Amino acid sequence: MRKIIKPSILLEFTMECERLQLSWGMGFLDTEYPKIETGETVLIRGRRSSNEILINHMICEELSKRQPVYWIDGGMRLDPSLLIPTLLKKNGKITNLDYLYASRGFTAHQMLEIIKRLAREKENKKGLHSGRLIIISDLVNMFMDEQVSSSEGKSMLKKSLSYIKEIAMEYNSAVILTIGSKQESFLSHAMRDVLESEIKDSISIISQSREIMILESKSTGIVVNPLITQNYISDLQEVDIDNQVSKVVWTHPLESISSSEIPKGDKSAKVARRAKV
């Protein structure tokens, strides 16, 4: 009897075959730790500075190969010029920053709308599909705003995570979320439950000094120690970036949301205008 394969199973099999493994951007980590695959959503938790070191290496690895990277920032810490020292050490060029597409969310409503729009941008599917890495930094921070009720914040976080998983699968990209350990300590039980239920894998940076970082995977229990990193302060001093300007790009501004529809919208709009370069 001839075996019939259901279309859904075939699609699943095809997507699995097309999955790509992405480098952590650090040689030691790549050899000792499972690489992140496209189609996955992973949460990086640790001190903000430690999180930034890790994602900066990942971003620069992709940029050095002229691969597009999408970065949605919820922590007001986006500064592409800080990527330059690592990018140059990976034999990249400063012009490779042209492959970085970034957007800031200034309010919880803006953050949700940016993620929703990214998931729904069918006309840009080709461009998004070519980008294998999407970074969403300090996502949860936005939904802890005092202007947002706890129930609304929980609902918006859940919707965001649902869209994010859709993005990872739809565009076959790896989505990396970050949360600072200090911010995580203030999370309500309800928000913790949402994170635990929606994100199946997380990687904790449990210790980090200037040169040593210890990572632990929740799903596998693998611990990597030591992880050699670089001193970014000294690196930055070695590079002349006086003529370099941080570039924040979002090709589709949030015209559909007026400042009057979001908490402190007028103030946020003024900040956003000043942030443009």
Looking at residue 255, its amino acid is E
* H or E stretch at 16: helix 7-18
Is residue 2 included in any domain, yes or no?
Answer: no
**Helix, strand or coil for residue 38?**
coil
C-alpha 21/C-alpha 37 separation (Å) is: 4
Work out the burial of residue 144: count CB atoms within 10 Å of its CB; fewer than 13 is exposed, 13-18 middle, 19 or more buried: middle
Is residue 1 included in any domain, yes or no?
Answer: no
Q: What is the DSSP string of 206-265?
A: EEE-SSEEEEEETTT--EEEEEE---HHHHHHHS--TT-------SS--TTS-GGGSTTH
Mean pLDDT for 61-74 is 94
Work out the burial of residue 249: count CB atoms within 10 Å of its CB; fewer than 13 is exposed, 13-18 middle, 19 or more buried: middle
* 146 Cβ contact partners less than 8 Å away, ≥ 6 residues apart: none
- Mean pLDDT, the chain, rounded, equals 75
Is residue 3 included in any domain, yes or no?
Answer: no
C-alpha 232/C-alpha 197 separation (Å) is: 35
Q: What is the pLDDT of residue 113?
A: 93
DSSP 146: T
Mean pLDDT for 181-198 is 87
Note down the domain range covering 38.
Answer: 17-275
Q: What is the pLDDT of residue 126?
A: 54
For position 28, which CATH number holds?
3.40.50.300
For residues 224 and 41, the answer to whether their CB atoms sit within 8 Å is no
**Domains in the chain: how many in total?**
1
Q: Name the more confident of 166 and 220.
A: 166
Instruction: Work out the percent of the chain whose per-residue pLDDT is above 90.
Output: 32
Q: Could you report the per-residue pLDDT of 124-178, keeping only the tens digit for each?
A: 555 565 789 999 998 988 898 888 898 999 999 999 999 999 999 888 999 999 9
Pull the structure tokens for residue 198.
Answer: 């929606």
Q: Could you report the per-residue pLDDT of 221-247, keeping only the tens digit for each?
A: 667 665 444 443 344 344 444 443 333
Is residue 160 included in any domain, yes or no?
Answer: yes
For residues 35 and 18, the answer to whether their CB atoms sit within 8 Å is no
In degrees, to the nearest 5, what angle opens at C-alpha 172 toward C-alphas 253 and 4?
Answer: 135
Looking at residue 180, its amino acid is G
Is residue 131 included in any domain, yes or no?
Answer: yes
Q: What is the pLDDT of residue 122?
A: 57
Is residue 231 included in any domain, yes or no?
Answer: yes
Is residue 8 included in any domain, yes or no?
Answer: no
Which of 42-46, 88-92, 141-145, 161-165 has the lowest average pLDDT?
141-145
Cα–Cα distances (Å) from 239 to 69, 210, 259, in that order, read 23, 19, 39
Q: Name the more confident of 195 and 75.
A: 195
Is residue 57 included in any domain, yes or no?
Answer: yes
Q: What is the pLDDT of residue 9?
A: 42
